[in-house]
Amino acid sequence: MTLVHKAGAAAGHPAAAPRPRKSAMKRRERTVGFLAVLPALVVVVGFMLYPTLFALYISFTKTNGISFKWVGLNNYVQLLTDPLVHTVFINNLKFLVSIPLVIFLALIVSVLMFERIRGWKYFRVIFFLPNVLSAVVIGVMFKQLFGYYGVVNTIVVGLGGERIEFFTNGSLAIMVIILALVWSGFGYQALLLLSGLEAIDPAVYEAAALDGAGWWKRLWYITLPNIRRVLGFVFIINVLYTFSSLFGFVFVMTAGGPGYDTTTIDYLVYLKAFSTSNLGPGAALAVLLFVFIGILTVLQNRAFRIQED
Amino acid sequence: MTSLNSRVRWPIFLLLVLMAATIIYPLFFLVSSSLRTNSDYLNNPLGLPSSISFENFVVIWNTYGAGPAFLNSLYVVTIAMIITILLSTSAGYALAKLPVPGAKLITGSFVSVMLIPGQVLILPIYLMLSRLGLVGDFSGLIVVYVATSLPFAVFFLSVSFRAIPDELLEAIRLDGAGFFRTIRSLILPVGGSSIATLAVLQFLGMWNELLYAFILLPDDSKRLLTPALAQIGDRYLNQQPLVSAGLLLTASVPILLLVLASRYVMQGLAAGVSR
């Protein structure tokens, strides 16, 4: 591993020697400091910064990966006028339905957890559990649960219904993916909200209790307003998640189908980049997605900050 | 809100149990179905195993490639995690406590690339690695994992190392300690829990990663576990007990980490947000 080599060399000559003068020591400290950062810097510049610029370049070309022909904004113009991209973008918007569901459940759990009920430490670990699992594990699990011979269909048949083919119908497939999203997200977000609740000054509650405010009143007038910053943050990560992290779920559950009914932008990037001979449009779509996410983050940040003032 | 009387506490407890059950049940279902034969499962998918057998695990490990994939994952992820920790400890300490020229610029660029999604990087990285002949080679994926983990790792460690009191650093320096000894006998013991948190977070992230692992290791013989499971789940969906066994095998390492190192995982709770 050349990386390890560099790390070793970076700090190979510290200390020792008779104590030098102040400025020489300062200079040597700067050298040591720089050498200590260097390996990480080289790797990040080489395998993150450079590829990002490379992706930007590819997005302006027509290329098979070997020869590059500059086409200017052509790829972008084509993407923005492509009806498929529009359809897929609307698919992404459909997944936004998961956000109120996730936040609602997370709020319930966090408010309940805040009561420090017995065994709350175990509850914390349980609610955290889906967060350590891969989207692949969760996706395949839900595909199984909603499969033709899965648990859900067993219950449906038990209740006298017909087996439902969840994954041959676009809307049903999206619904199952949304359920998977909710399942995997609400526990973790409940813990985030809980940390917001714990930051509220207990004196506020004591004052409210003295005023005779009931539990519901306190929830509505004290608890919720006091955690709006965390709520805003949770909202933002959910939106980002909807636009950038559905790939794993879509990949294992539907492969974007039926047709393009469950294809999301991040999955379309993968399709365009790895199943066509022209890589330019795939790169352009990835850049567009990145820019879109960036703008969204800035706007949402601003919106929640304005509420703060 | 601790003033609640005990009359209200029971419903709250029960409601929490109910919510927790929605998380536990699917996992319980995986365990139960993985221990059954396919025909026993089809008889009554909701039932418990009529007899317990570990056959599915043996089959998935030996015949369906999950065994080698498990070992491949362990190998790649462990090495990538160790390199990430080494590089980010060194860089994090320097940025926190040493006069690094251009420190602001370096920190700034690390923070700004942190948000770049895999979809942007995968295509150029694939082209770069294939030019270097590293597509299909573990070392290519390891470098990519290290590179994509580093921005967050360096940022995280430099923030937590900043809390180490300067007097301690001054004392050990007067003692004649250089860079390496400072890291070994001061940074590691004092900042150990941050490093452990980071190690667990990175391990989980890499273990669960799909896109890079799937694209950069296209040969079946070198598959990592997460992409291998995606394929098993696709090809053998009608053999649910078998797929359940594969799911449990893949989930076993993260779950084990969560149970054994829950302190560190939980500490990473707030930090993991910035992923």
Nearest CA in chain A to B249: A137
Q: Which residue has the tokens 């006028």?
A: A81
Question: Per the CB < 8 Å rule, is B233 touching A144?
Answer: yes
Nearest-CB residue to B151 (from A44, A195, A279): A44
Burial of A53 (0-12, 13-18, 19+ CB in 10 A): exposed
Residue B76 lies in a domain: yes
The answer to whether the beta carbons of residues B65 and B249 sit under 8 Å apart is: no
Q: Which residue of B has its CA nearest to A138?
A: B247
Same domain (yes/no): B154, B185: yes
Say if residue B79 is in the same domain as residue B140.
yes
Chain B interface test: which of A52, A140, A145, A184 (most B C-beta within 10 Å): A140
Would you call B148 an interface residue with chain A, using a CB distance cutoff of 8 Å?
yes
Residues 6 or more apart whose Cβ sits within 8 Å of residue B10: none
The amino acid sitting at B233 is: G
CA distance B254 to chain A (A): 6
Chain B contact probe: residue of A47, A120, A242 with most B CBs at under 10 A: A47
Q: What are residue B35's phi and psi, to 5 degrees?
A: -95, 5
Same domain for B33 and B136, yes or no, is no
- DSSP code for B222: G
Q: How far is A61 from chain B (nearest CA, A)?
A: 13
Contacts of A3 in chain B (CB under 8 A): 83, 87, 143, 146
Tokens of A307: 């509420």
For residue A268, give both structure tokens.
């379309």
Q: Provide the number of CB pairs (under 8 Å) joining chain A to chain B.
A: 311
State phi, psi for A13 to the nearest 5 degrees: -135, 60
Which residues lie across from A68 on neighbouring strands?
A63
Question: Which residues does chain B have within 8 Å of residue A45's beta carbon, measured at their own beta carbons?
Answer: 109
C-alpha angle with apex B220: B214 to B224, nearest 5 degrees? 50
Q: Do B269 and A130 touch (CB under 8 A)?
A: no
Residues of B in contact with A55 (CB under 8 A): 120-121, 123-124
Q: Is B111 on the interface with A (CB under 8 A)?
A: no
Q: How far apart are CA B181 and CA B187, in angstroms?
A: 9
Q: Hunting for tokens 């930090």 — which residue is that?
A: B271
Same domain, B48 and B76: no
- Mean confidence (pLDDT) of chain B: 87
Identify whether A258 is preceded by a cis peptide bond (ω within 30 of 0).
Answer: yes
Please name each of the domains of chain A with its CATH number.
2-59 (no CATH), 80-308 (1.10.3720.10)
Record: contact A237-B27, CB cut-off 8 A: no
Considering the domain boundaries, does residue B165 fall inside one?
yes
For residue A61, give the H/E element and its range: strand A61-63
Pinpoint the alpha helices (H) of A11-73: 22-44, 50-59
Residues of A with Cβ-Cβ distance to B24 under 8 angstroms: 126
pLDDT in tens, B45-92: 888 888 888 888 998 898 888 999 999 999 999 999 999 999 999 999
Which residue, B36, B55, B74, sits at the end of a domain?
Answer: B55
In a domain, B79, yes or no: yes
Q: How many Å apart are CA B217 and CA B226, to the nearest integer?
A: 12
Together in a domain, B46 and B132: no
How many helices (H) and strands (E) would you count in chain B?
15, 0
Nearest to A141 among B30, B128, B255 (CB): B30
> Considering CB atoms only, which of A126, A134, A274 is closest to B226?
A134
Pairwise CB contact (< 8 Å): B1 & A112: no
Q: Cα(A146)–Cα(A152) distance, rounded to whole angstroms?
A: 6
Other C-beta atoms lying within 10 Å of the C-beta of residue A3:
20
Q: Are residues B110 and B45 in the same domain?
A: no
Q: What residues contact A141, with CB distance under 8 A and at least 6 apart? A: B26, B30, B247
ipTM here? 0.89
> Residue A51's pLDDT is what?
94
Q: Are residues B83 and B211 in the same domain?
A: yes
Q: Could you tell me if residue B60 is inside a domain? A: no
Instruction: Indicate yes or no: CB of A36 within 8 angstroms of CB of B113.
Output: no
Hey, what amino acid is at A107? L
**Domain ranges, residue B201:** 65-272
Residue B50 lies in a domain: yes
- Give the count of domains, chain B: 2
Q: Is the residue at B120 inside a domain? A: yes
Chain B closest-CA separation from residue A111 CA (Å):
10
Do B236 and B173 reside in the same domain of the chain? yes
Q: Is A21 left (phi over 0), alpha (psi -120 to 50) or beta?
A: beta
**Axis-axis angle for helices B66-97, B55-62 (nearest 10):** 80
Is the Cβ of B172 closer than 8 Å to some Cβ of chain A?
Answer: no
* pLDDT tens-place string over residues A17-26: 455 566 887 8
Q: Are A145 and B26 in contact (CB under 8 A)?
A: yes
A149 CA to centre of own chain: 31
Residue B1 domain-assigned?
no
**For residue A63, which phi and psi values (nearest 5 degrees)?**
-150, 150
Cα–Cα distance for residue pair B66/B253, rounded to 1 Å: 14
Per-residue pLDDT of chain A (309 residues; tens, 9 = 90+): 333 343 434 444 444 445 556 688 788 888 888 999 999 999 999 999 999 999 999 999 988 878 888 888 888 998 899 899 999 999 999 999 999 999 999 998 998 888 777 778 888 889 889 989 999 999 999 998 998 888 899 899 889 888 898 999 989 999 999 999 999 999 889 988 888 888 888 887 777 777 777 777 878 888 888 888 888 888 888 988 888 889 999 999 998 878 899 999 999 999 988 877 788 889 999 999 999 988 888 888 777 765 554
Q: Which of B165, B183, B168 is nearest to A36 (CA)?
A: B183
Closest residue to A132, CB basis, from B125, B204, B215: B204
B interface test, pick of A13, A136, A165 with most B CB neighbours within 10 Å: A136
Read off the pLDDT of residues B166-224 as tens digits, 9 standing for 90 and up: 888 888 888 888 888 888 888 888 888 899 999 998 999 999 999 999 999 988 889 99
**B205 vs A: CB within 8 A:** no
Chain B positions in Cβ-Cβ contact with residue A41 (cut-off 8 Å) = 91, 106
By DSSP bridging, strand A61-63 and strand A68-70 are antiparallel
If asked whether residues B40 and B114 sit together in one domain, one would say: no
- B149 domain residue, yes or no: yes
- Diameter of chain A measured on Cα atoms: 88
Contact B275, B156 (CB under 8 A): no
Judge if B29 and B128 occupy the same domain.
Answer: no
Q: With DSSP H G I counted as helix, E B as strand and the rest as coil, what are the percentages for chain A, rounded to 5?
A: 75, 0, 25
Residue A77: alpha-carbon gap to chain centroid: 28
- At B11-54, the pLDDT tens digits run 888 888 998 999 999 999 999 989 988 888 888 888 888 888 88
Are B84 and B25 in the same domain?
A: no
Q: Are B70 and B189 in the same domain?
A: yes
Structural contact between residues B75 and B142, judged by C-beta atoms closer than 8 angstroms: no
Cα gap A219→B1, rounded to integer Å = 9
What CA–CA distances, in Å, run from A32 to A36, A237, B173? 6, 38, 14
CATH number of the domain enclosing B197: 1.10.3720.10
B116, B215, B230 member nearest A52 (Cβ): B116
Q: Residue B17, exposed/middle/buried by CB under 10 A (0-12, 13-18, 19+)?
A: middle
Q: Tell me how far apart the alpha carbons of residues B28 and B267 are, in angstroms, rounded to a whole number.
A: 27
A79 with A288: CB under 8 angstroms?
yes
pLDDT on residue A1: 35
